[in-house]
Amino acid sequence: MPLAPSKVKILVWDAPTRVFHWLLALCFAGAYLTADFDRLLGVHLTLGYTMLGLVAFRLAWGLIGTRYARFANFLRSPKEVARYAGHLLSSKAEHPVGHNPLGSVSIVLMLLSTLFIVLSGWLYVSGGPKLIKEFHEGTAAFMLAVVAVHVAGVLFASLMERQNLARSMLNGYKLGYAEQAIRWTWWPVATMLLAGAVAFWWLQWQSPLPA
């Protein structure tokens, strides 16, 4: 009787997905930290608008990207999410190669939060009422909470799966079977994404601050 294949390091996360992930994290952290400093308003706005561009890219990449980057691969129904959560500490716990159902919920919440944050911020600096600013700040606080839960979930899943999931979002590799691997990193697309962000920052640097 042939032996069952063993798990090995396989390429799961393509380069555009990884660059998007860390750029969004950097921009959100920077925008959050500069929110209360008038002299850093230009930096705050630039990072916010960059987040909007990143989300637009991620929505497109979720449709045409590699296997585990596509929404069709990891979006789950509420019933499936609840079943996965209920089995987390049992022998029935599943460990998908890509995003797990709870991770997919955090991704959707962060994408939607980013859209609301940027839209409300734009409306406020365009002359909107103070209520818009309060909504903007509340949505940012909500996203910060989602990020905190997401980080905690990554740490928990890393312990359960006995692999460093944060590192896998850096190098792209996770444990899996050879046939589950994606074939190409798509670095040219990732390079264009990063270059686009840097070019936008440079252009914003040349622009005067809003009144």
Domains belonging to the chain, first-starting first, are 9-206 (1.20.950)
Q: Which residues of the chain have pLDDT under 70?
A: 1-4, 89, 91-92, 208-211
Q: What DSSP designation does 181 have? A: -
CA angle 132, 137, 143 (to 5 degrees): 125
Q: What is the pLDDT of residue 144?
A: 97
Residue pair 27/47 in contact by the 8 Å Cβ criterion: yes
Query: What token pair was written down for 176?
Result: 């899996």
Q: How far is residue 138's CA from residue 50's CA, in Å, rounded to a whole number?
A: 20
CB neighbour class for 44 (10 Å; exposed up to 12, middle 13-18, buried from 19): buried
Instruction: Compute how many other C-beta atoms are within 10 angstroms of the C-beta atom of residue 143.
Output: 21
pTM: predicted TM-score of the whole model, two decimal places: 0.92
Q: What is the pLDDT of residue 119?
A: 97
| Mutual angle of helices 130-161 and 15-33, in 10-degree steps | 130
**Around 57, how many Cα atoms within 13 Å sit in the side-chain half-sphere?**
21
Q: How far is residue 198's CA from residue 2's CA, in Å, rounded to a whole number?
A: 52
Closest alpha carbon to 98 in 55, 67, 62, 60 = 67
CA angle 155, 58, 140 (to 5 degrees): 65
Q: What is the pLDDT of residue 178?
A: 92
Distance from CA of residue 102 to its chain's centroid? 13
Query: What token pair was written down for 32?
Result: 């959050």
Q: What is the pLDDT of residue 1?
A: 47
